[in-house]
């Protein structure tokens, strides 16, 4: 079997994991109505997943450092399937939260190990493309996974989404077992050494860009479904289309961000992307009753948000080029912590202010990220 097909299998696995993380935002209102809880309580399902991903994944990776990678991947997928099956069969929000903890940890391990294996099975000189293909699975989950999850939840029930993911996960186990070669474990940098980089002001400032950028994203995206249904008055059918369009825009943004970074440099792209991000969020607030403006700004917002991925990855690498792997690991941890924090802050805003206020608070977080980029730029120039 060609290395390309093996990498595509890993990318599809990444798609399943990404869908399990992001689909909650698309079906939040249905979960709240079904379980009899508020939108804010249901929104914490995002927080729980992200916290488990952020803290659980590094611990598991350190404890299983010497374990053969294919064996570890199969075990992680097994727990991922179990967590989705539990989400499908267990009643109540408390047990659903418990399944999300297991889902978050296992999903994080699946992604990390998939990227490791992808670099091993790729042809020499094609390791970067292999990583990009696996990460593209995550982007595809926004384009297809979230809107498809919404459609399924509307046609059947929201639990069916997790049932289907569990079944597809079982298929993935068979494919991985049959087609992916064994890959030996490797040394992993200890958590103490990883966290030691946070004592460096440059590293801390660079990672704070990720933190506040993703908080801004999570505050709005976690509650985008109730926002568009309630504050805007959008129909279910229109919402499904908008979620799909936003997903396509995220792919365009990611591609544009990579091209622009090569052409104009990471700091310029970060500044431009964050600026457009903030402007779009403010105009979304003003465009609630102006459909053309609202849709245009949602597309601009999604493009701007995801254009920041390539330059920010490069940003954290250039801060500590001798510790590339550690910086990327820390960046991933910070990203998930920010997802959790954003969902939590968004919940507080919805509960204590209003659903319409989430765009303004999200924009405020983007302003802080903008300031962090400027500070990091000055520190680098020194």
pLDDT at residue 190 in the model: 64
Q: Judge whether 6 and 180 are in contact, CB under 8 Å.
A: yes
d(CA 122, CA 8) in angstroms, rounded, equals 11
- Given this model, what pLDDT does residue 118 score? 80
pLDDT tens across the length of the chain (382 residues):
577 788 888 888 989 998 988 889 888 889 998 889 988 888 888 889 999 988 888 888 778 877 888 888 999 999 999 999 999 998 888 999 999 999 999 998 888 888 778 877 777 766 656 766 777 787 788 778 888 888 888 888 899 999 999 999 999 999 988 887 787 655 656 667 667 777 788 889 989 999 999 999 999 998 998 899 887 888 888 888 888 898 889 888 888 887 888 788 888 989 999 999 999 999 998 887 888 889 999 999 999 998 888 888 778 877 777 666 667 778 888 888 898 899 889 989 998 898 889 999 999 999 999 999 999 888 877 6
CA atoms within 13 A on the CB side of 24: 32
Q: Which residue from 186, 213, 199, 210 is spatially nearest to 320, judged by alpha carbons?
A: 199
CB distance 3 to 180 below 8 Å: no
What is the torsional sign of CA 37, 229, 21, 58? negative
Distance CA 219, CA 51 (A): 15
pLDDT at 146: 84
pLDDT at 150: 87
- 206 by DSSP, 3-state: which? helix
Q: Say if CB 13 and CB 110 are below 8 A apart.
A: yes
Q: Is 91 helix (H, G, I), strand (E, B) or coil?
A: coil
Contact assessment for residue 284 and residue 359, using Cβ atoms and an 8 Å cutoff: yes
| Confidence at residue 84, expressed as pLDDT on a 0 to 100 scale | 94
Which tokens belong to 265? 């440099």
Are 253 and 306 spatial neighbours (Cβ–Cβ below 8 Å)? Answer: yes
Res 127: pLDDT: 63
Cα–Cα distance measured from residue 103 to residue 55, given in angstroms and rounded to the nearest whole number: 13
């Amino acid at each position: 079997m060609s290395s390309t097909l093996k990498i595509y299998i890993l990318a599809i696995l990444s798609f399943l994991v990404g869908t399990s993380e992001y689909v909650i935002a698309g079906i939040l209102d249905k979960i709240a109505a079904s379980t009899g809880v508020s939108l804010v309580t249901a929104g914490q399902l995002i927080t729980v997943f992200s916290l488990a991903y952020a803290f659980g994944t590094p611990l598991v990776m350190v404890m299983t450092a010497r374990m053969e990678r294919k064996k570890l991947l199969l075990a992680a997928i097994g727990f991922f399937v179990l967590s989705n099956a539990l989400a499908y069969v267990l009643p109540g929000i408390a047990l659903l939260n418990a399944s999300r903890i297991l889902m978050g940890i296992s999903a994080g391990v699946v992604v990390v190990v998939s990227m490791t294996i992808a670099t091993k099975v790729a042809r020499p000189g094609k390791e970067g493309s292999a990583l990009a293909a696996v990460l593209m699975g995550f982007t595809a989950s926004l384009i297809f996974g979230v809107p498809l999850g919404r459609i399924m939840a509307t046609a059947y029930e929201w639990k069916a989404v997790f049932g289907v993911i569990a079944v597809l996960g079982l298929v993935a186990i068979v494919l991985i077992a049959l087609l992916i070669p064994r890959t030996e474990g490797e040394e992993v940098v200890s958590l103490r050494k990883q966290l030691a980089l946070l004592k460096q002001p440059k590293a801390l400032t660079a990672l704070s860009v990720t933190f506040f950028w993703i908080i801004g994203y999570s505050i709005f995206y976690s509650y985008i479904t109730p926002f568009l249904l309630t504050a805007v008055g959008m129909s279910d059918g229109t919402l499904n289309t908008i979620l799909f369009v936003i997903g396509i825009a995220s792919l365009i943004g990611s591609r544009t961000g990579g091209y622009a970074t090569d052409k104009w440099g990471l700091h310029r792209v970060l500044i431009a992307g964050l600026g457009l991000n903030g402007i779009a969020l403010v105009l979304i607030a003003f465009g609630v009753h102006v459909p053309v403006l609202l849709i245009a700004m949602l597309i601009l917002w999604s493009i701007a948000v995801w254009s920041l991925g390539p330059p920010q990855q490069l940003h954290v690498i250039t801060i500590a080029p001798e510790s590339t792997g550690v910086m990327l690991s820390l960046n991933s941890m910070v990203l998930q912590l920010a997802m959790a924090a954003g969902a939590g802050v968004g919940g507080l805003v919805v509960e204590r202010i209003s659903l319409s206020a989430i765009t303004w608070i999200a924009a405020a977080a983007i302003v802080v990220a903008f300031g962090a980029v400027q500070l990091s730029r000055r520190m680098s120039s020194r």
